[in-house]
Amino acid sequence: MLSDLVRNAYDILTQHFYKEENVLFTMAERMLSEDEKEELFKRIQEIK
């Protein structure tokens, strides 16, 4: 049923966003140097 698919998609996205915020971004914050973070920020701004 469509409502089940939507609910499943919501659950998957919610888990994905949680992992990004609490695992990937946290790990990147610890591992990247200040210069690397600045370079990454500049590149992201160019995309916008």
CA gap 18, 22 in Å, rounded: 6
Helix (H) or strand (E) holding 16: helix 2-19
pTM of the model: 0.60
CB–CB of 40/32 below 8 Å? yes
> Residue 34 — left, alpha, or beta (φ > 0 → left; ψ -120 to 50 → alpha)?
alpha
pLDDT attached to residue 48: 81
pLDDT attached to residue 32: 97
Give the mean pLDDT per block of 10 residues along the chain (48 residues).
96 96 94 96 93
pLDDT attached to residue 14: 97
